[in-house]
Chain A
Amino acid sequence: MTSLFLINILLALAWAAVTGNFSEINLGFGLVLGFFALYLIREQVGTTAYFRRIRQALGLALLFIYELILSAWRVAVIVIQPKIELEPGIIAYPLTVDRDFEITMLANLITLTPGTLSVDVSDDRKTLYIHCIDVPDPQATIDDIKNGFERKILEVFR
């Protein structure tokens, strides 16, 4: 996975060296060309996984941006209401991911999504404490995160 990405970057540098132009646009074009060249030989060198990972990572990024816009919108709706009626609370979320890197990623994604903010991780790395701006039903919120972000993260990094 990582080594293929490095090869991709090397191909981009080679393209820039051959064309004698190291501007950002040409490097970006070289990256796309290298990606395409690697894509052509994906069957022979067995790198289909690389492209599946890239697609899943892009999907995660898109989901992230979509959720960010949604959450900003929801905060906006809450804030401009004449009377703010909310039921905030701190819920305990049982973690499935267990590597530090994945927990960090999940915590960051949770913070930027509608109505949730990660506050703390328990010492044994099993529970994430999340502050919700409005939780009529804690279990529904937990299920949402389980089926959305956590599954995507598992898909991309496992």
Chain B
Amino acid sequence: MTAVVAIITGIMLIIGALFALIASIGLLRLKDVYMRTHAASKAGTLGSGLMLLALALYAGDASVVTRAIAGVVFFLLTAPIAAHLLAKAAYEAGYQPCADTKIDALKETLPRKS
């Protein structure tokens, strides 16, 4: 039983770490701040959430489990808000979306400072 738990924990840790790695590769490779936010807010959240759940599974102690799950819940609550505020602040500060951007519905409504 402990072996099974250890194997599952290991797999979850590796997948979580891979997603965290992908999030950081995304930060390097994508073209503008909005696309980078996509990578950080999604792959990053899933990666850290998986690793926290692995901890909850491995610890088997109610106090650690509740805290790990609370951590996951707060990740899910805060990551989208942070991403949204970053994107909004970047747009209002006049940061142009990259040249590939096809449509920009916000252009008419928000006066840019640039």
A49 close to chain B: CB less than 8 A: no
Majority SS at the chain B contact face: helix
Q: Nearest chain B CB to A137's CB is how many angstroms away?
A: 11
Minimum distance in angstroms from A27 CB to a CB of chain B: 10
Q: Chain B residues with Cβ under 8 A from A79's Cβ?
A: 22, 25-26, 29-30, 39, 43
**Residues of B contacting A25 in the complex (Cβ-Cβ under 8 angstroms):** 62
Tell whether, in the assembled complex, residue B80 and residue A80 are in contact, meaning their CB atoms are under 8 Å apart. Answer: no
CB of A119 within 8 A of chain B?
yes
Most-contacted residue by chain B among A90, A122, A135, A138 (CB, 10 A): A90
Give the CA-CA distance A131 to B84 in the complex, in Å: 10
Least CB distance from B84 to A in Å reads 5
The answer to whether A107 and B80 touch across the interface, beta carbons within 8 angstroms, is yes
Interface size class of A (residues with CB under 8 A): 35 or more
Cβ B39 vs Cβ A112 within 8 A: no
Q: How close is A121's CB to chain B, nearest CB, in angstroms?
A: 9
The reply to whether A117 and B87 form a contact with Cβ atoms under 8 Å apart is yes
Q: Say whether, besides A69-B46, A88-B97, A135 and B103 are in contact (CB < 8 Å).
A: yes
CB <8 Å contact, B38 and A75: yes
Q: Is the CB of B105 within 8 A of A90?
A: yes
**Contact flags (1/0) for B58-99 with A, using CB distance below 8 Å?**
000011001000000000110111011001100100000110
Q: How distant is the Cα of A68 from the Cα of B76 in the complex, in angstroms?
A: 10
CA distance A149 to B91 in the complex (A): 25
Contact A68-B42, Cβ < 8 Å, known A91-B103, A138-B103: yes
Fill in one digit per residue for B3-31: 1 if any A CB lies within 8 Å of its CB, else 0: 00000000000000001001101100111
**Per-position 1/0 for B27-48, Cβ under 8 A of A:** 0011110110111011101110
Q: Are A72 and B46 in contact (CB under 8 A)?
A: yes
- The answer to whether B110 and A24 touch across the interface, beta carbons within 8 angstroms, is no
Q: List 24 A-B contacts (CB under 8 A).
A: A23-B62, A24-B63, A24-B66, A72-B43, A75-B22, A76-B19, A76-B43, A78-B26, A89-B97, A89-B102, A89-B104, A108-B77, A109-B80, A111-B80, A112-B45, A117-B34, A118-B80, A119-B34, A119-B87, A119-B88, A120-B91, A122-B109, A131-B38, A131-B97
B residues neighboring A (CB under 8 Å): 19, 22-23, 25-26, 29-32, 34-35, 37-39, 41-43, 45-47, 62-63, 66, 76-77, 79-81, 83-84, 87-88, 91, 97-98, 100-107, 109-110
